Amino acid sequence: MPLSWNEIKTRANAFSKEWESESREDAEAKSFWDAFFNVFGITRRRIASFEEPVKKSDGKGGFIDMLWRGQLLVEHKSLGKSLDRAFTQALDYFPGIKERDLPKYILVSDFAKFRLYNLETNEQIEFLLKDLYKNIKLFGFIAGYQTQIIKAQGPINIKAAEHMGKLHDALKVVGYTGHELEVYLVRLLFCLFAEDTTIFEKRLFQDYIETKTSADGSDLALHLNSLFYVLNQPTEKRLTNLDESMAAFPYVNGKLFAEPLLPAQFDSKMREALLDLCALDWSLISPAIFGSLFQSIMDADARRNLGAHYTSEENILKLIKPLFLDALWAEFEKIKSNKKRLPEFHNKLRSLTFLDPACGCGNFLVITYRELRLLELAVLRASR
């Protein structure tokens, strides 16, 4: 669970005071960014690396000060140096970064000032170190907070179906078919969703594939089978000398990973296809489409018509909000400052039962469960 915003702001104030007199890039920049990530309760070395080698736009080699693949590129300068120049230098690295690893944000700093560029919205904001706490919500993507927007399904759902369908077709060609292929793909889909929805740590699945498997894909299937086995093991029952990168995966109950499967077989193109799937932001892919997404994977024609035959998240929310969800949130707003009544309300949430008599892919139930979990998290934060 992410730290509360109050806790993050308190840490941000302490961080600003600790670093208000620093100016030496070479001596302290790495410690500065380690401490910055700690503001959000994140261990930097788990998600981002320093001095990432890359070829610049002029073909010469360079080193990115810090890169969180697919999320954030940081360029750091000594006190008083030009942040415009730092931004230009950051852009020079882009031709040498794989498409799937291109960042959504660029952050430049000279200790005293921060400037954050949102490359998806083409927005930028600059502020002083002492004002970090005032601008801290700009970094919600680091803390694990997501802004939910109710809107019609975007093209990313189609892209996900197409990419997953290509992987399905490639596995089928080599003879991996039937029930085992279906279970295999459901497991992969779970891992992809889990990585971007806080079940796994950010990039945990993608980094494991990139760092632990060969580029030719020859050992990928064996690694995945080992990972599936570990995901089915409670932490206390795992081998004590398990590789740290695999031990970091949490236990997944519900028997999704319980059935033994024959190892599949991958080549370099199939490995790249899986990494391309990892690079999609699965938090933007509605869980309401999960069942339809999986069905479309199995049928090339259905992939092109994805979205035509399922109830959208937008329409589901139009039903469940006035039916019960708005009333529950209103009740929470009335009692959220009353620590004595919050446990009773929490128990009420956990006792609710919902049925969908016309259940197909389970879209209504999935969205209902997600919305109740979001409300439950709000209750838990208010109870601290």
Q: Which amino acid is at 98?
A: K
Q: What is the pLDDT of residue 152?
A: 46
> Residues 246-258: what's their mean pLDDT?
92
Those residues whose C-beta lies under 8 Å from the C-beta of residue 155, and which sit 6 or more positions away, are none
Q: What is the pLDDT of residue 359?
A: 65
Calculate the average pLDDT of the chain: 85
Q: What is the pLDDT of residue 57?
A: 76
Q: What is the pLDDT of residue 219?
A: 95
Q: What is the pLDDT of residues 56-74, one digit of tens each?
A: 877 788 899 999 988 899 9
Q: What is the pLDDT of residue 148?
A: 46
pLDDT band at 301 (very low <50, low <70, confident <90, very high): low
> Residues 271-291: what's their mean pLDDT?
79
Query: What letter would DSSP give residue 322?
Result: I
Those residues whose C-beta lies under 8 Å from the C-beta of residue 132, and which sit 6 or more positions away, are 12, 13, 15, 16, 39, 114
Query: What letter would DSSP give residue 125?
Result: E
If one counts every other C-beta atom within 10 angstroms of the C-beta of residue 151, the result is: 10
pLDDT at position 288 over 80 = no
Those residues whose C-beta lies under 8 Å from the C-beta of residue 203, and which sit 6 or more positions away, are 47, 68, 69, 70, 195, 278
Q: What is the pLDDT of residue 158?
A: 67
Q: Please report the beta strands in 32-144, taking only residues with DSSP state E, as ranges in sequence order.
A: 49-55, 61-68, 72-76, 105-109, 113-118, 123-128
As a residue count, the chain comes to: 384
pLDDT at position 306 over 80 = no
Q: Which residue has the higher pLDDT, 281 or 220?
A: 220
Q: What is the pLDDT of residue 254?
A: 86
Q: For 353-376, what is the HEC assignment?
A: CCCCCCCCCCHHHHHHHHHHHHHH
Q: What is the pLDDT of residue 86?
A: 93
pLDDT band at 310 (very low <50, low <70, confident <90, very high): low
Percentage of the chain with pLDDT > 90? 48
The first and second tokens of residue 240, run together, are: 């004590």
> Residues 117-121: what's their mean pLDDT?
90
pLDDT band at 120 (very low <50, low <70, confident <90, very high): confident
Those residues whose C-beta lies under 8 Å from the C-beta of residue 219, and which sit 6 or more positions away, are 213
> Residues 118-132: what's their mean pLDDT?
92
Q: In whole angstroms, what is the distance from residue 103 CA to residue 89 CA?
A: 14
pLDDT at position 2 over 80 = no
126 membership: H or E segment, kind and range: strand 123-128
Q: What is the pLDDT of residue 32?
A: 93
Q: What is the pLDDT of residue 361?
A: 61
Q: What is the pLDDT of residue 384?
A: 80
Q: In whole angstroms, what is the distance from residue 243 CA to residue 221 CA?
A: 17
**In the chain, where the domains are located:** 5-143, 155-304, 313-382
pLDDT at position 149 over 50 = no
Q: What is the pLDDT of residue 44?
A: 86
Q: What is the pLDDT of residue 19?
A: 93
User: Tell me: domain 5-143, CATH 3.90.1570, correct?
Assistant: yes
Q: What are phi and psi of 346, to 5 degrees?
A: -60, -45
Q: What is the pLDDT of residues 226-250, one digit of tens each?
A: 999 999 999 999 999 999 989 999 9
pLDDT band at 202 (very low <50, low <70, confident <90, very high): confident
Q: In whole angstroms, what is the distance from residue 327 CA to residue 350 CA?
A: 16
Place of tokens 């929470």: 332
pLDDT band at 47 (very low <50, low <70, confident <90, very high): confident
pLDDT band at 308 (very low <50, low <70, confident <90, very high): very low
Runs of H (alpha helix) within 280-362: 290-297, 300-304, 313-320, 326-335, 342-351
Those residues whose C-beta lies under 8 Å from the C-beta of residue 134, and which sit 6 or more positions away, are 127
If one counts every other C-beta atom within 10 angstroms of the C-beta of residue 38, the result is: 14
